[in-house]
Amino acid sequence: MQLANMTWPEAGKYFQENDIILLSVGSIECHGKHLPLGTDTLIPQKLLELIEPKTDVVIAPIIPFGACDSQTDYPGTVSLGVDTLYDVFTKITQGYRAHGVRRFVVLNGHGGNIPVLDRVALDLQRQGCMLAEMNWWLMAWDLNPAWKGGHGGAEETAGILAVDPKLVDFAAIEDMELKDVSDELQATGFKTVRFKGVEIPLVRPVVDISDNGWIGPDHPKNATEEWGVEMLNACADYIVEFMEAFRRAPLPVRK
């Protein structure tokens, strides 16, 4: 059930009988030259479409913007930032809490949102509620290690192929070349460099790391629609099963 499609009496009846809601948040940011800016929002939206017929948990409208400050050099990327997203998510969750929600399931499409969700989850836990984070791309890795990927790599490319193959520009896919900080500090990923065999966090704007905006071990040219369909269906089924278990879990008791 989509909350946006319900009347307020219908919503009132639901919240009288249920204390759980499914929220989602994405991002609008660069994912290489071959994927749309809305990748982190489009994939969660597709997952919600797959989830809806399989559950009676109400689904709230998705938040399409996230915290992606490291990507704002790319045209079209818009970041709410950590503080603003925290304020927005706090207002939303407290609004639903006022209607009786105590169990919040959050389908997240973007890694940069995780620190905000962690903080909101702690706030809610202290109020006798629980917030579970469903980071779909990490979930997919656990469900099938062959699906493991990076930012704008094959995993996310496969996900977008499952949304709409026309949204992937295979002609624009390029090889990835990470930009080292120096001869001694070699880039190894999104936020890390290697020095004498040890990986050290060194956060930089993505334009200073990748020559085209995608980063990861999984080359996007290897993505297929079949992979994406299987992966998103598996994630959707898992989320549905998790929500039923989450419903049965005891709420925290605060003294």
Rounded mean pLDDT of the chain?
96
What pLDDT is stored for residue 249 in this prediction?
A: 96
Q: What CATH code would you report for 3-146+224-248?
A: 3.40.50.10310
- Cα(203)–Cα(191) distance, rounded to whole angstroms? 5
Most distant CA atoms of the chain, gap in Å = 65
Q: Which residues are paired to 20 by β-bridges?
A: 103
3-state secondary structure the chain: CEHHHCCHHHHHHHHHHCCEEEEEECCECCCCCCCCCCHHHHHHHHHHHHHHHHCCCEECCCECCECCHHHCCCCCCEECHHHHHHHHHHHHHHHHHHCCCCEEEEEECCHHHHHHHHHHHHHHHCCCCEEEEEEHHHHHHHHCHHHCCCECCHHHHHHHHHHCHHHCCHHHCCCCCECCCCCCCEECCCCEEEECCEEEECCCCHHHCECCCCECCCCHHHCCHHHHHHHHHHHHHHHHHHHHHHHHCCCCCCC
Q: Taking 80 as the threshold, does the pLDDT of residue 198 lie above it? A: yes
Q: Stretch 170-191: mean pLDDT, rounded?
A: 93
Question: Tell me: the pLDDT tens digits for 144-169?
Answer: 999 999 999 999 999 999 999 999 99
Digit-coded pLDDT (tens) for 46-58: 999 999 999 999 9
Residue 255 has pLDDT above 70, yes or no: no
Break the chain into its structural domains and give their ranges: 3-146+224-248
Structure tokens at 27: 């991002």
